Each structure stands twice: as structure tokens, then as C-alpha cells.
């Protein structure tokens, strides 16, 4: 994530290089991925691939690049802000995102083999906003998550990266990382709230193509 500009005494901009710049040319980068990609249907709750930990990405090659392009295309078709590979039936630890933070800044990127940082107690300020999921279409529920997150992993070339998010974007980073370890957001709800979310899903038609659970 790009930091707010900080200038030294000589007027030179200082850059925190710990986190990637996923803001610059966000729209152009997303469009390029999407135009190269092919949209795929979304897997929904109950599909086995969503309920198990995915395999680590070990080959950072053209096949991975094509998968990422397809994920951006699929995400746009479904009008989502984040998508994990198992949501299009691929058993690999990679997710993409195209998400605004709470200040209205757009973040676009892809993370392979993500791991969330453990936050110190003073950074664990919980936000209990509504959350939804493309794999639980039409359902929403309040879920408390930290309003700040850092995820570390690799980019499409295999280079180490770290992504920082606040507010809604922090929720997105946590949600997508959960997917790749076999968790849906409804798994973190009470039994009553989970039942209500599944009822919402059953009562509404998906607005995008999904894979039926036969």
C-alpha cells in the first residue's frame, strides 16, 4: 500500500518501502489483467475446494499469470472486491483484490502464499461492519475484524511482498486470506447468524454464474 507522502528537511519525499505500492495506476493495471483474462463461474459454499487449505504456489510462471488474469476477469463479472483462487475452483494459495479503503483510495494487486501478521494488542481495534462473500451469494452479516491488517507473501514473479490495509481494505485482506486456509466468513459467525446467512443465500438468485454443488 502506498503511504501518505512524507518529506524530509530538504523537501525530498521519503518512502516507506516495507509495503508495496498497490495504488499507482490501479485502474490501468486492473483493466490490463481483466482484458487478458477469461471470466470463470464462482464456486459456492458446500464445494469441497472451499473447505480445505489450498496448496502453496511453487511455480511463478505463465500459467500463474494467466490464472491471476482470469481471477481479475471473474472478480469484475461478479462485481467483487476480492477473489481467492479456490473461489474459481483452483487449489492454490493466491488471491486478487480491487478494493477501496475507508479513505476512498483504490488498491489493486495479487498475493500468493499470504500470511497475516499477528497484530499487537494496541492495533487490534475491532470493526463489526457487514461482510459478504461471492461464494455465499446474496448474504450479509456483521462480523468483527481488526480494522488494520498486514499480509505478507509473494507477487506473481515470486518476489516477497507485504500489503497494508485499513478499514474495509483490511477486512478484504483478512477475508481473502481466510479463503485460502479453508475458511468462509460464515464459519466465524454464531450458529444462528450462519443459519441466517445461508437462508439469505437460499432466498436470492446469484447475480453472476456459479458452480452448482451436485
* Percent helix, percent strand, percent coil in the chain, to nearest 5: 30, 25, 40
63 catalytic per annotation: no
Q: How does 185-197 read in b/e, with b if 16+ C-beta sit within 10 Å?
A: bbebbeeeebebb
SS3 180: helix
Q: Of 167, 170, 91, 183, which Cα lies nearest the Cα of 133?
A: 183
Q: Annotation-wise, does 133 bind a ligand?
A: yes
Question: Which of 35, 176, 203, 205 is labelled catalytic?
Answer: 176
Q: Annotation-wise, does 175 bind a ligand?
A: yes
CB 136 within 8 A of CB 44: yes
CA angle 103, 106, 110 (to 5 degrees): 130
Q: Of 75, 96, 80, 78, which Cα lies nearest the Cα of 156?
A: 96
Q: Of 17, 32, 43, which Cα lies nearest the Cα of 69?
A: 32
Supply φ then ψ for residue 74, to 5 degrees. -65, -40
Instruction: Give the annotated binding-site residues.
Output: 133, 175, 179
Q: Annotated binding site for Fe cation, which residues?
A: 133, 175, 179
Residues noted as catalytic: 176
Amino acid at each position: 500500500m502506498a503511504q501518505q507522502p512524507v518529506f524530509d528537511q530538504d523537501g525530498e519525499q521519503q518512502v516507506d518501502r516495507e509495503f508495496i505500492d498497490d495504488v499507482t495506476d490501479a485502474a490501468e493495471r486492473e483493466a490490463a489483467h481483466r482484458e487478458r483474462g477469461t471470466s470463470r463461474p464462482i464456486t459456492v459454499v458446500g464445494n469441497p475446494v472451499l473447505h480445505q487449505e489450498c496448496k502453496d504456489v511453487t511455480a511463478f510462471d505463465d500459467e500463474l499469470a494467466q490464472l491471476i488474469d482470469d481471477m481479475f476477469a471473474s472478480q469484475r463479472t461478479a462485481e467483487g472486491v476480492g477473489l481467492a483462487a479456490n473461489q474459481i475452483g483452483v487449489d492454490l494459495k493466491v488471491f486478487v483484490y480491487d478494493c477501496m479503503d475507508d479513505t476512498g483510495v483504490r488498491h489493486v494487486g495479487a498475493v500468493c502464499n499470504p500470511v497475516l501478521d499477528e497484530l499487537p494488542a494496541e492495533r487490534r481495534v475491532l470493526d463489526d461492519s457487514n461482510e459478504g462473500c461471492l461464494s455465499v451469494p446474496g448474504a450479509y452479516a456483521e462480523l468483527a475484524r481488526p480494522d488494520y491488517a498486514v499480509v505478507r507473501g509473494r507477487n506473481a514473479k515470486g518476489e516477497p511482498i507485504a500489503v497494508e490495509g485499513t478499514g474495509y481494505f483490511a477486512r478484504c485482506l483478512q477475508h481473502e486470506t481466510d479463503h485460502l486456509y479453508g475458511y468462509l466468513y460464515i464459519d466465524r459467525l454464531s450458529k444462528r447468524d450462519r443459519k441466517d446467512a445461508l437462508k439469505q443465500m437460499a432466498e436470492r438468485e446469484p447475480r453472476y454464474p456459479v458452480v452448482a454443488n451436485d
